[in-house]
Structure 1
Amino acid sequence: ASEDVQLVVAILGRRFELPIDWQDGVGYVRTHLELEEVPLWNPRTHGPAERVKLSVHRLNDAELLAERMVCFREILADRTNGGFELAVNNTPIFCRGACWTIGDIENFGGSAERLRSILTTAAKAGLNMIRVGGTMSYESDDFYSLCDELGILVWQDFMFASMDYPADDADFLNNVRQEVEQQAARLRKFGSVAVFCGSSETEQQAAMFGKDRDTWQHPLFREKIPAWLDAMDVTQPYVPSSPCEGTLPMHNAVGISHYFGVGAYLQGHDDLERSRVRFASECLAFANVPSERTLKERFGVLAPAIHTPAWKTGVPRDSGTGWDFEDVRDHYLRELYNLDPNVLRYENNARYLYLSSVVSGEVMARTYDYWRTDGRCCGALVWFLNDIQQGAGWGLIDSDARAKPALDIVQESWKPIAIALRDRGMDGMSVAIHNAERETFAGQLRVCLYADSRRLVSDAAVPIRLSEGERLEIAIDEILGSFSDHLHRHRFGPQRQDTISVRLLDDDGELMHSRQRALSEIPLLAGDCTVNVTASETGDALIVTSDRALRRVRLSSPNTEFKKNYFDLLPGEKRRIEVQRRSEGAARGTVSAVNWLGESYFRC
């Protein structure tokens, strides 16, 4: 290099000369630029993920030396009162998403094309955060650039997990410092990187072995790493371990937690109120059944036998336990649908797999509904976004980069406006809503009660107006304007209703949210149900109607993909489902529902 070289940086139509510090023939550049009214990068759920091109040229001949996209944003963490709430550009964010594994286990990360496929699928579902955990590996620049582009926040662990590291070993510390400084210098330039975390479960592991606080609060993660990051002027919030804080690191009511009460520990949804989760950086691990297309391509049939080695190889389990995560899923199938999974699998394996593909998503969706509307929890990341092998793994996306039914269902609870049905005991049900949009929402909340899943017995609506960040809880009886005993708690005679529907519509009547529940044991319809599927006038969608209230309607087709599936349907409702055909000819297939023992064939 010649010391007469001069450099200039160009950004947002402005040019700045860069001072070069020459040392022994090597030029070093470090500068500070001040810009006004820059476009801000936001997580995709809260605004556009604006990026700006920055280029470096040689001043004398304008030769382009380097260029990249940069992001402008501010990220802060509010830790008051034992919480952990991220704010981007002064806007509080409920972080919803999942933990990353690896893009391609055979290619150690995968191609940029495969990364884009997985991340785009996740982004379209409404995810706004991914955690790269300490049990995995640092990802490629392609990964973080895609997260910048797609508006996905990244919680980044350093690669330490579940061990007692020798913090008094000088050689080891020097090696760790180099790793931390190199990775922080590389990753801090990506706007999507929102949190740095020292480790995964190092504090929890020691605490669960009964060690005292001085042992499990490791100085490497509590003192050394944050000091190195501070010396580098790293601005992202830092946490020492995932989980951490609280009386013990695995306690939920303070700081960062790994919550598996609903899930591996077989708790009901009433445990959410007891546990008081503030931010779950891991949660909700289930053996999620892949899509029908993947089942057919990978196992040869739509309903493979789940006891075979080919299937069980893909089902996760904790080392040394006598159960796996399919047993966890079966527990909730029994609880939600009042069916014995063993008997169901014995008598009708196809229906067993259908209900299994739905139930994990249903449990996750109800959990997110609660957390997003209760005002305490500020984030929850499902344990595994993507599988690394075929089968019913933890991932919401399978090893072929296709969304699983669980993702179809849980994405309803990742929308900007959150809504939840609450059981308030003798007072009946209520509806809780949180407006996380960056603008006021105006519309109406409509409640319908049905008998025999067909006959409308109550129908009422109230106007709703919620400013940005506002919460509301309103009793069903207040909406109806009269006593309904819809949960049959007073038992004045036989129960009149078996289905409740709650719908949130905007001022134009467009459906924003829908929640439908059975009010008693889920009624199973036999053959007395008429379902029709017709093609839209434009041919790019199907119109689905039914004369009964149906739960988690599934459209199955060998030649057609559906933009939305596993949806609820009311009597007389016309549900428009956009389609993409995989081959020429009419869309053909079957339609079925969780609460319907039959199915209907369509060709249109």
Structure 2
Amino acid sequence: MALLRNVDRTLDGPWEMIVTAPGACAGPGDLGALTGFIPAPVPGTAAGALRAAGRWSEAEPTPLHGSDVWYRTAITGRGREILRFEGLATLCEVWLDGTLLLAGRSMFLAHEVAVDLDGTHSLALAFRSLAQDLARPHKRGRWRPQLATPGSLRHARTTLLGFMPGWCPSVDAVGPYRPITRRGEGGRPTGIDLRSAVADGTGILTLRLTIPEAVGPAILRCDGREAVLPETAPGRFEGRLELPEVALWWPHTHGEPRLHAAAVEIGGQTFDLGRVGFRTVTMLRPFAEGLSLAVNGVPVFCRGACWTPADLVGLPGDRDAYAPLLGLAVEAGMTMLRVGGTMLYEGQAFHDLCDELGILVWQDLMLANFDYPTDDPAFRAALDAEIAQLLDRLQASPSLCVVGGGSEVEQQAAMLGFPDSVWRAAAVEARLREAAAARRPDLVVVPNSPSGGDLPFSTDAGVTHYYGVGAYRRPFEDARRAEVRFASECLAFANVPEPASLAEAGLTDPRAPGWAAGVPRDRGADWDFEGVRDHYVGALYGVDPEALRRDDPARYLTLGRAATAEVMEATFAEWRRPGSVTAGGLVWLWRDLAPGAGWGVVDVAGRPKSAWYALRRAFRPVQAVLSDEGLNGLRAHLLNETAAALDLVVALTFASAAGKVAARAERPVSLPPRGAVSLTSAALLGRFFDAANAYRFGPAAHNLAHLRLSAPDGTLLAEAFHFPSGRDATPREIGLSAALVAERDGIALRVASERHALGVHVALDGPGRPADNWFHLAPGAERRLALVGTSGRPSGTVRAVNGSGAIRF
């Protein structure tokens, strides 16, 4: 059932909260003698309320699952009302005037209860100790994962956040973290089934609803057009509205994410149905051959990240919490975000914003790694209700495109040696497919992430979690050799935040004892993801990371930031080239869950890291990449995902670091709409040149190849670099310069270099950031960078990884 908009009133309180020993209060009547209540925002969490009261710290999180937590408020009204609880974490009792109304066992289910009001009443919520519930005897699963503990979590419908030692802080999710609302009974439609579809360019909006004792016709309106819905049974209306040539919804990289307001008028009263989008999502090949998606018939390379909550402590679900982070995703050119099975279902505002911004959403069920008791009727019933509520709530969301059966359930069992008859999550997949067919037949269903091959983590089938380049320390060439079809997770590194963020967190020295707490590791592993990053620092720059960490920690962090940026760009350049079998890659993770060098490409404060800037370049809709084809030289791949044909200029230059040109070619090129052009270095130059330094006929004539794609007026659109002899990061004088310049849209920063500049990075003295960072400059080149979020006349420094010092501006 889709939800009406702007109908229910939030039950804001004021609320107050108290933490008690488990079982200390059997009911709300026992609260009267207690003192120590604190204000508690709703929606919100107990940890968030304690933090606001100065009684909780991220550095030393107060355990809450071992306690009971009580919320209470007064509610005033007369007559029958419906109270709706969108999300209660996790074992919750709802009491009205000492009478138990509801006992819920899932933080993923919404609940509605009818109450009869006659004046002022006392409403109380009791969140019972989850730790006590998990400690009671439970049937053990066939396997016990390393990811989370305790094993009895397989029976609990709660987030795994806070239960995953090694990469997630122990923050306990307790409380009414989603809105509580109230409404009068009757007088509004129920059983709303709203669906959008596209057929031969015509948008089709269908609606079914019930409103007892309705007087007059029901009229469905959308995009300035309307249709009368016939009354098919007393109080039951259903019909369709056709919208020829309706503007379609597109991912923001491929077009405009057009939304259309929909409403229904019944008996002179108008009900807001929200905004709908019209689009199709189809698979371009069988799932066994690798997930590959088309939107509105156009193939889309799905790139983005695996989402993490905006605040692990408070678990906010409002627009203000989501908007800055989703804005960064759009700015980075991300087309997809995956909400994985270790997280939690995000609030409605998240999906509304993804609809508005044009970000595709992959939504997993909240199932991960465990052997879930799908043979238990109560568990199955709760899971069925969870799936139904999720799909009903997002029934009209065009951004939702993939639903998955969870994360690493199949992989966990397969890696422990079980046969496929055990590890295939057939029961969950069947239930998900049945529910999607009934409620959202336009969605693509993925059995599990990963899944689809002879083993669920096979890289050349279905969807995979690809960490060949990354955790398994494979060379860059493995990104092609592995024949990755779709990486629903990839490229996990301990990404180092910018210096300002480290200073705020008191983590400026990687040798300090507290540094390791911010570095993620897999539980039980004898290595961590800082070691993974260090491996690529050594491989890329020919240094000893351990010695550098000991002797020059600032340089160690600088090369760490540069290395993860290089790896991100190189991997996606391989995957996005024409001829690649890869149809998508989602980086693990979007945002850090704690201060320090976490997996996120955005730090815990919401600031981009070097990896984010690299992805921003790698994800450009109009893109240029170079691939090393060995004896066939280099190949320039020029991509255009927009709907317009583009007449551009491509230039390929082979030079020394000092700028001595060994070969150069420049020519106009026409890129078809949503198409690509690939050109060999031989075709561009019109002659033989050892572009990849593969033939080795004498000393190399160059150590840098630079591909530049520009508009006819010279505006840079994209560029790529190739280093046939490796990246020389030895600090030297390179003629780096920086100056502020006035532009039409404000002050910009002009950065130039006489010699090749490796990993140019800007640090502002005050708030704000450059639009790009951790980029390369060709010899004699310059960049003009917009400065985001600054005020007045900004100042700061510019450095290069291979430069001899800092340049002030």
d(CA) in 1 for partners of 2:538 and 2:551?
15
User: What are the Cα deviations for residues 198-231 of structure 1, in whole angstroms up to 9, with x where unaligned?
Assistant: 1211211221122222222233123232123223
Distance verdict in 2 for CA 1:534–1:140, change over 3 Å:
same
One-letter code of the match for 1:16?
A
> 8 Å contact 2:480–2:575 — kept in the other structure?
no
Q: Matched residue of 1:502: which SS?
A: strand
1:34 match: 242
1:284 match: 491
Q: 1:5 aligns with which of 200, 206, 215?
A: 215
2:668 match: 463
d(CA) in 1 for partners of 2:385 and 2:742?
62
d(CA) in 1 for partners of 2:750 and 2:662?
26
Q: Matched residue of 1:552: which SS?
A: strand
d(CA) in 1 for partners of 2:304 and 2:718?
19
2:279 match: 73
Q: Matched residue of 1:32: which SS?
A: strand
Report deviation, 1:4.
Answer: 4.2
2:154 match: none
d(CA) in 1 for partners of 2:327 and 2:469?
28
Structure 2: segments with no counterpart, 5+ residues = 1-186, 188-211
1:23-422 superposed matches below 5 A? 27-60=235-268, 63-80=269-286, 82-232=289-439, 234-299=441-506, 304-373=508-577, 374-422=579-627
One-letter code of the match for 1:474?
L
User: What are the Cα deviations for residues 255-274 of structure 1, in whole angstroms up to 9, with x where unaligned?
Assistant: 11111111000001111222
d(CA) in 2 for partners of 1:154 and 1:29?
31
d(CA) in 2 for partners of 1:149 and 1:521?
43
d(CA) in 2 for partners of 1:319 and 1:386?
20
Q: CA RMSD in A?
A: 2.2
Report deviation, 1:581.
Answer: 6.3
One-letter code of the match for 1:542?
L
Q: As a proportion of its length, which structure holds more helix?
A: 1
Q: Matched residue of 2:243: which SS?
A: coil
d(CA) in 2 for partners of 1:318 and 1:275?
23
One-letter code of the match for 1:201?
E
One-letter code of the match for 2:783?
R
Q: Does 1:599 align with 2:805?
A: yes
d(CA) in 2 for partners of 1:273 and 1:126?
23
d(CA) in 1 for partners of 2:696 and 2:226?
76
d(CA) in 1 for partners of 2:535 and 2:360?
33
Percent identity over the alignment is 36
One-letter code of the match for 1:125?
A
Report deviation, 1:469.
Answer: 4.6
d(CA) in 2 for partners of 1:466 and 1:222?
41
**What TM-score does the superposition give when structure 1 sets the normalisation length?**
0.93
> 8 Å contact 1:9–1:18 — kept in the other structure?
yes
> 8 Å contact 1:289–1:393 — kept in the other structure?
yes
1:545 match: 752
d(CA) in 1 for partners of 2:586 and 2:763?
29
Report deviation, 1:29.
Answer: 4.6
Q: Does 1:438 align with 2:643?
A: yes
Structure 1, 363-372 or 340-349: larger mean CA deviation: 340-349
One-letter code of the match for 1:234?
P
Q: Does 1:479 align with 2:687?
A: no
> 8 Å contact 1:421–1:429 — kept in the other structure?
yes
d(CA) in 1 for partners of 2:801 and 2:491?
22
Q: Matched residue of 1:248: which SS?
A: coil
> 8 Å contact 2:342–2:407 — kept in the other structure?
yes
Distance verdict in 2 for CA 1:530–1:98, change over 3 Å:
same
One-letter code of the match for 2:213?
E
Q: 1:508 aligns with which of 707, 713, 722?
A: 713
Distance verdict in 2 for CA 1:543–1:65, change over 3 Å:
same
Report deviation, 1:30.
Answer: 4.2
User: What are the Cα deviations for residues 435-476 of structure 1, in whole angstroms up to 9, with x where unaligned?
Assistant: 333333332321112224332332212332332454443332
d(CA) in 2 for partners of 1:536 and 1:469?
35
d(CA) in 1 for partners of 2:240 and 2:629?
56
Report deviation, 1:151.
Answer: 0.4
Q: Matched residue of 1:529: which SS?
A: coil
Distance verdict in 2 for CA 1:107–1:20, change over 3 Å:
farther
Q: Does 1:574 align with 2:743?
A: no
d(CA) in 1 for partners of 2:649 and 2:535?
37
One-letter code of the match for 1:368?
F
> 8 Å contact 1:362–1:410 — kept in the other structure?
no
Report deviation, 1:419.
Answer: 3.1
Report deviation, 1:524.
Answer: 4.3
One-letter code of the match for 2:485?
R
d(CA) in 1 for partners of 2:389 and 2:732?
64
Structure 1, 567-576 or 432-441: larger mean CA deviation: 432-441
Report deviation, 1:293.
Answer: 2.5
Report deviation, 1:233.
Answer: 5.1
One-letter code of the match for 2:253?
T
d(CA) in 1 for partners of 2:534 and 2:366?
34
One-letter code of the match for 2:548?
L
> 8 Å contact 2:374–2:427 — kept in the other structure?
yes
Q: Matched residue of 2:717: which SS?
A: strand
Distance verdict in 2 for CA 1:232–1:587, change over 3 Å:
closer
Distance verdict in 2 for CA 1:104–1:211, change over 3 Å:
same
Distance verdict in 2 for CA 1:443–1:64, change over 3 Å:
same
> 8 Å contact 2:391–2:440 — kept in the other structure?
no
User: What are the Cα deviations for residues 285-307 of structure 1, in whole angstroms up to 9, with x where unaligned?
Assistant: 1111112321232227xxx1113
Structure 1: segments with no counterpart, 5+ residues = none
Distance verdict in 2 for CA 1:166–1:549, change over 3 Å:
same
> 8 Å contact 2:736–2:757 — kept in the other structure?
no
Report deviation, 1:578.
Answer: 1.3
d(CA) in 2 for partners of 1:400 and 1:462?
44
Structure 1, 227-236 or 265-274: larger mean CA deviation: 227-236
One-letter code of the match for 2:439?
M
Report deviation, 1:113.
Answer: 0.7
Number of matched pairs: 593
d(CA) in 1 for partners of 2:687 and 2:356?
50
Structure 1, 204-213 or 88-97: larger mean CA deviation: 204-213
Q: Which has the larger radius of gyration?
A: 2
Report deviation, 1:139.
Answer: 0.8
Structure 1, 348-357 or 215-224: larger mean CA deviation: 215-224
Report deviation, 1:517.
Answer: 3.2
Q: 2:227 aligns with which of 1, 12, 16?
A: 16
